A and B are shown apart, each in its own frame.
Chain A
Amino acid sequence: MEHILNVKNLHVSYGVVPALRNISFHVDEGEIVALIGPNGAGKTTALHTISGLLKPKEGFILYEGRDISGIEAHKLVKESISQVPEGRGIFPILTVAENINLGAYLRKDKDGIRRDKEWVYNIFPRLKERMNQVGGTLSGGEQQMLAIARALMARPRLLLLDEPSMGLAPVIVEDIFKIIKKINKENGTTILLVEQNAQMALTASHRAYVIEVGEIVNEGCSKELKKDDRIQKAYLGI
């Protein structure tokens, strides 16, 4: 079967400083794949390159069989790739409803949009209560929910999540991950998940890659990786 996302020999640098050196990984349709690694490993760089915010120096990004490397970010949204940025990236001066509407910015199907709004407000009832509040007044957890809800409004076939657990209390992290799994199960949305919280990421995902200083150093089925000695020492604090 063809991979929905196939990243091959990707090199990315900031100016002359390399951030990703020859990384390759893939995601299959319907999977949750985690990319775990410490601060500065290059996880965000990898997501930005897939979503088109950064251009690779070398390598390919095949999405549904087509090379998308170098295509501008706003055009990839139309191809149903949606990214929830690190630190949520909601628009604090816009209301919750306006943020949600922006998720459907390129869509023209009014009925579909209305249905999807109902759907995301159903997943995140707290957002519905706060519809007319500006995004900046939400709590951190609510902002993360808003960022996910907004990304879902684009009806992604590939959802990129950048550290959804960042700065959130453990109970809220549990909630968010439950929802991520639910979206994957019920909608079949393929998810590429970047995390420092290896525990949560390995529990939620089917497969995972470990990235360190711009290189993939380990990969495998998440269940197995959780039992791996080195991973337990380095990432799970066991």
Chain B
Amino acid sequence: MFLQQLVNGITVGAIYAMVALGYTMVYGVLQIVNWAHADVLMFGTFIGLLLTNVFHMPLFAMAVLAAAFTAALGMSVEIVAYRPIKSGNRRMAVLVSALGMSTFLQNLAQLVFGSSSQPFPTIEKVTYTIGKVTFTNIQLIILGITAIMLFILYMIVYKSKIGIAMRACSVSIPNAKLMGINTNFIISLTFGIGAFMAGIAGICIATYYNAVYPTMGYLLGMKAFAAAILGGIGSIPGSVLGGFVIGIFESLGAGYLSSGYRDAYAFIVMILVLAIRPSGFMGAKHIDKV
């Protein structure tokens, strides 16, 4: 039972981690919460459905193309909803703009794709059993894809010139500009990378639960956001860890305590951890020297 719940928890945790990264990276460079992130994910997942149903694309090609669309949508959200806000009470204006964008995307999805839940294309399920633990090929694929995405992200953020520029922007946009960095381009790219991973995560979860619907982003987004907060928002390794911790606790909670509260465990874990470590697992430690 324990190992079984652990396996299930790691699977959903991987998805939470991929979504959490989008919140954390945007927060890292702009110190804003992109509340439209999960709706961008939902929209991208519907595009995946469209690609399959209308264009009969194979699953993997569809996933990459849908994620690319999600990335483009995420970048557009930044240009339309956040970039124009430069002065005044910026945080409040950004919050309102983000919530507006989120509502807009949900309504647009209902209008275009309908409001009911639709079955999502999946692959033939193969089940493996080792001892008392059962897992499926879909779970293995989700974990494999997550590992690949995390590796690529690691190479971009920590090993490439663009990644150094991103981290410089997260410290100070004006000082990054003084290095010759086109900060608007880096911000765009950050939204794009975050949304691409969310697109992949959306396809994964829709395949896993075999469903896509206009409000699918809501709980997923809240849990992923909790994961980002738990890990210390702005910290990339923190968000990954936060995603897995939330996935695992949710699964164990549903298995051992009560599955009726499945959706509450993420937030319970977050509150407990923040009570002990207010900055999360890996929250920003400020090193200031004058």
Contacts and interface: CB of A to CB of B under 8 A. Distances in A.
Interface of A: 51-53, 72-74, 77-78, 82-83, 85, 87, 89, 91-94, 98, 101-103, 105-106, 134, 136-140, 143, 150, 154, 167
B180 A140 contact: no
A73 B168 contact: no
A102 B171 contact: no
Interface residues of B, number: 21
A78 B182 CA distance: 11
Q: Which 9 residue pairs of A and B lie closest in terms of their CB atoms, listed nearest first?
A: A136-B287, A77-B180, A73-B177, A106-B180, A89-B175, A102-B179, A105-B180, A91-B171, A74-B177
B181 A105 contact: yes
Given A89-B172, A94-B167, A98-B164, A51 B178 contact: yes
14 contacts: A51-B178, A74-B177, A74-B181, A77-B180, A78-B180, A89-B175, A91-B172, A92-B287, A93-B170, A94-B164, A102-B181, A105-B181, A134-B287, A136-B287
B182 A85 contact: no
A137 B287 CA distance: 8
Contacts of A150: 179
B241 interface: no
A73 B174 contact: yes
B165 interface: yes
Nearest to A160: B178
A154 B165 CA distance: 15
B161 interface: yes
Interface string B171-204: 1101101111111000000000000000000000
B56 interface: no
B87 to A, nearest CB: 8
Given A101-B164, A105-B161, 11 more contacts: A74-B178, A77-B180, A83-B178, A91-B167, A93-B170, A98-B164, A105-B179, A105-B180, A105-B181, A140-B290, A167-B290
A72 B182 CA distance: 9
B10 to A, nearest CB: 29
A72 B177 contact: yes
A143 B180 contact: no
B289 A136 contact: yes
Contacts of B289: 92, 136, 138-140, 143
A91 B29 CA distance: 13
B157 to A, nearest CB: 12
Contacts of A74: 177-183
Contacts of B165: 102, 105
Contacts of A91: 167-168, 171-172, 175
A77 B164 contact: no
A105 B290 CA distance: 26
Contacts of B167: 91, 93-94
B53 to A, nearest CB: 44
Nearest to B186: A74
A143 B287 CA distance: 12
